[in-house]
Structure 1
Amino acid sequence: MKIKYDNETDAIYVILSSDTIVESEEKLKDVVVDYNDKDEVVAIEILNVKQNEHEIDLPLILKSA
């Protein structure tokens, strides 16, 4: 797992796998979950990190994936 912050886009990327992303879905406002071809979670993006306060329940996000 890798966690990266992109200052230019103000986003945090939690990368769980190096698999190719084939689909993305916004699960909550400014929270995008990326999937591979097996419908497994590959990454989670949290957008507008500095602009907004976020409370994210990762087990809930992953369970609903």
Structure 2
Amino acid sequence: MKLKVDQQADALYLTLSEAPAARSEEASPGIILDYDDQDRVVGIEMLYLSKRAPGVEVRKLLFETIPEFA
């Protein structure tokens, strides 16, 4: 899994799989899902990042893993 922030494009892209995208679909305004040829989501793009998260410092992203319950 990879996360790429393009400040010039004001966009964030989350790569879920290295499989190539066969098609894309705008799930809601500015949220684009990329699908592989087996219809699995392989990437998520979020446009207008600065408007969606004003004041957020993208260089200080925090990743959190929720522990599993036995």
CA distance in structure 2 between the aligned counterparts of 1:4 and 1:12, rounded to whole angstroms: 6
CA distance in structure 1 between the aligned counterparts of 2:8 and 2:22, rounded to whole angstroms: 24
CA distance in structure 1 between the aligned counterparts of 2:46 and 2:40, rounded to whole angstroms: 18
Number of equivalent positions: 53
Question: Which 5+ residue runs of structure 2 have no aligned equivalent?
Answer: 54-70
The equivalent of 1:5 in structure 2 is 5
CA distance in structure 1 between the aligned counterparts of 2:8 and 2:40, rounded to whole angstroms: 28
One-letter identity of the residue aligned with 1:48? Y
CA distance in structure 2 between the aligned counterparts of 1:50 and 1:22, rounded to whole angstroms: 28
* C-alpha displacement of 1:8: 1.4
Q: Which structure would you say has the larger Rg?
A: 2
Question: Which 5+ residue runs of structure 1 have no aligned equivalent?
Answer: 54-65
Matches within 5 A, 1:21-40: 21-40=21-40
**Matched-pair identity in %:** 40
TM-score (normalised: structure 2): 0.71
Q: Which string of whole-angstrom CA distances, capped at 9 and with x for unpartnered residues, describes residues 1-43 of structure 1?
A: 1111001111000100010111000001100000000000000
Q: Give the root-mean-square deviation of aligned CA atoms.
A: 1.0
TM-score (normalised: structure 1): 0.76
- Deviating beyond 3 angstroms after TM superposition, the runs of 4 or more aligned structure 1 residues are none
